[in-house]
Amino acid sequence: MTSDRHTRSMASLPSPTATSRSVGTGRPRRIANALHAANAGFALAIALALALTLALGGCATWRAPAAFDDGALRTRAVTDSRQGVRVSAVVLSAEDSRRMFGAEVNATGVQPVWVEVRNQTPEPMWLLSPGADPDYFSPNEVAWSMHTPLARAANARIDEHFDSHGFRSPILPDETRAGVLFLNPERRTRVLNIDLLQNRRLIPFSLFLPVPDDAAGPDSAWVPFSYRDADITDYRDLDTLRAALERLPCCASDPRGTESGDPINAVFVGELRDIAAALVRRSYRRDARALDASQRVFGRAADAVLRKQAQAGAPATWMRAWLAPIRFEGRAVYLVQVGRPVGGRFAPRGATGSVLHEDIDEARNLLIQDMMYSGGLDKLGFATGVGPASPTAPRTTGDGARYHTDGLRAVLFLATRPLSLADVELLDWAPYIAQTVEPPAAPIVTAR
């Protein structure tokens, strides 16, 4: 019986012949096929590595371009002089970048600006790059964007070349020094702040530079709106200026002039270069969008639209400005809409439109603080003119946005920097006190 069980057990095992067939056609074949596929993949990897090596070998031959002649840049540079200092600057074109750096720097999202400083004072001076752009790029940072993996020698030459062309301080007495600042791109016209620091003195410049290669076309440089002198009223004292500002419309209108737009809750007074310099120093950049064109004051769309570049590049506070047909002691007056989108920096990216946040006074007050820290704010006052609206009885714009406000517009007087916070004069105009009661209803005058 034991023998029968043993016989049946042995019979159940595969015969040597069957085992031989299994070896020829079963798992070993699958292993062989896998090894063949691995070898093929390895061969492909080797081929790709060889191709990459050849490519890197080509990149490793990068050489600095021939000596760059900046004579052509000087012929189209914008120049200004003051206090024994001359500054010239020009935005580099794509072709300029290729000839200077051997690469098209502009394609990396960086705008190179050539700057030359002539110091005819008896003291050295330092150019402060954050004055030109708080988010400026260092030469080595831009050079890194040109690096190729595993090409150490070529990358080192790129670093050295970019670093040698960056602007270097100090500028010694009777010295002329030129170099490149690497800034965030601006369209059409670049407002360039140049802050030159000496012992207990800052010499500031603000230049308006045409941007070459702009997609908007060669003749598209930004031209500020202007009035005929006969159409402008120039006020010579603060009281009459305040009265004129309080008579201006509370809000914009839509293109048809039938619906109320966003409120005009701020006013700038000053030279355009001083206003522009203060805004640049606080990271406001021109950024007009389709939705901005629907806001009309004096029968036209905004003369300038800026957005504050916030965390990770997300635009937060927006600002639309219109030149008004009035002046104060010869200086321009701009009506300004200041607002923030619902959600602020947490609003969804890529949205086609932005909904005005209902607390417009917050946006106005943040702009005031920005201008205080810009070093350009000289005076601050508050005037009526917007008309109060409480949170429980908000006002509604033509596009359906609701907002509440204390009804005041901030009037900011900008001057040539540098000014400290202690230099700001607070005008004894409309008192700025948080509303704790329901404000009375006021008639609303919309721009037409």
Tell me: do 310 and 421 sit in the same domain.
yes
Q: Pull the structure tokens for residue 277.
A: 């310099």
Kindly state whether residue 45 falls inside one of the protein's structural domains: yes
Nearest partner of 306 among 325, 322, 287, 321, judged by Cα: 287
Tell me: do 341 and 368 sit in the same domain.
yes
Q: Are strands 408-414 and 266-270 parallel, antiparallel or unpaired?
A: parallel
Gap between the Cα atoms of 420 and 428, Å rounded: 20
CA 181 from centre of chain: 15
Contacts 24+ apart (CB under 8 A), 45-54: none
The count of domains in the chain is 3
Q: What CATH number did the domain enclosing 180 receive?
A: 2.60.40
- Give the end-to-end CA distance of the chain in Å, rounded to a whole number: 114
Mapped onto helix, strand or coil, the DSSP state of residue 261 is strand
Which of 210, 243, 273 corresponds to the end of one domain? 210
Tell me: do 96 and 26 sit in the same domain.
no
Nearest partner of 156 among 62, 291, 259, judged by Cα: 62
What was the pLDDT predicted at 355?
A: 81
Tell me: do 147 and 259 sit in the same domain.
no
Residues 6 or more apart whose CB falls under 8 angstroms from that of 257 comprise 296, 299, 448
**What single letter denotes the amino acid at residue 342?**
V
Q: How many CB atoms lie within 10 A of CB 409?
A: 26
CA 420 from centre of chain: 25
Tell me: do 193 and 300 sit in the same domain.
no
Tell me: do 372 and 318 sit in the same domain.
yes
Bridge partners of 411, per DSSP, are 267, 381
Kindly state whether residue 4 falls inside one of the protein's structural domains: no
Gap between the Cα atoms of 212 and 208, Å rounded: 13
Dihedral class, residue 251 (left if φ above 0, else alpha if ψ from -120 to 50, else beta): beta
Kindly state whether residue 350 falls inside one of the protein's structural domains: yes
Kindly state whether residue 9 falls inside one of the protein's structural domains: no
Kindly state whether residue 431 falls inside one of the protein's structural domains: no
Q: Pull the structure tokens for residue 62.
A: 């990068």
DSSP 169-215: S-B-TTEEEEEEEEE---SSEEEEEEEEEETTEEEEEEEEEE-TT-T
What was the pLDDT predicted at 23?
A: 41
Kindly state whether residue 6 falls inside one of the protein's structural domains: no
Local confidence pLDDT in tens for the 448 residues of the chain = 444 444 444 444 444 444 444 444 455 555 556 555 555 555 555 555 445 444 444 444 557 788 888 888 999 999 999 999 999 999 999 999 999 999 889 888 999 999 999 999 999 999 999 999 999 999 999 999 889 888 888 899 999 999 999 999 999 999 999 999 999 999 889 999 999 999 999 999 999 999 998 755 444 556 789 999 999 999 999 999 999 999 999 999 999 888 889 999 999 999 999 999 999 999 898 888 888 999 999 999 999 999 987 666 566 789 999 999 999 999 999 999 999 888 777 766 655 567 888 999 999 999 999 999 999 999 999 999 999 999 999 999 988 899 999 999 999 999 998 889 999 999 999 998 654 444 445 555 566 5
Kindly state whether residue 448 falls inside one of the protein's structural domains: no
Q: Are 326 and 235 in contact (CB under 8 A)?
A: yes
Tell me: do 242 and 106 sit in the same domain.
no
What was the pLDDT predicted at 351?
A: 59
The position carrying tokens 């601006």 is 186
What was the pLDDT predicted at 310?
A: 65
Rg (CA), the chain: 33
Tell me: do 251 and 366 sit in the same domain.
yes
Tell me: do 105 and 164 sit in the same domain.
yes
Gap between the Cα atoms of 246 and 413, Å rounded: 16
Please tell me whether the overall predicted TM-score, pTM, comes out greater than 0.85 for this model. Answer: no
Gap between the Cα atoms of 297 and 334, Å rounded: 11
Q: Are 360 and 405 in contact (CB under 8 A)?
A: yes
Q: How many CB atoms lie within 10 A of CB 293?
A: 12
Q: Domain limits at 20?
A: 15-59
CA 346 from centre of chain: 18
Nearest partner of 183 among 207, 148, 152, 151, judged by Cα: 207
Kindly state whether residue 173 falls inside one of the protein's structural domains: yes
Q: Pull the structure tokens for residue 389.
A: 């609206």
Q: How many CB atoms lie within 10 A of CB 141?
A: 12
Tell me: do 233 and 319 sit in the same domain.
yes
Tell me: do 189 and 126 sit in the same domain.
yes
What was the pLDDT predicted at 170?
A: 97
Tell me: do 143 and 248 sit in the same domain.
no
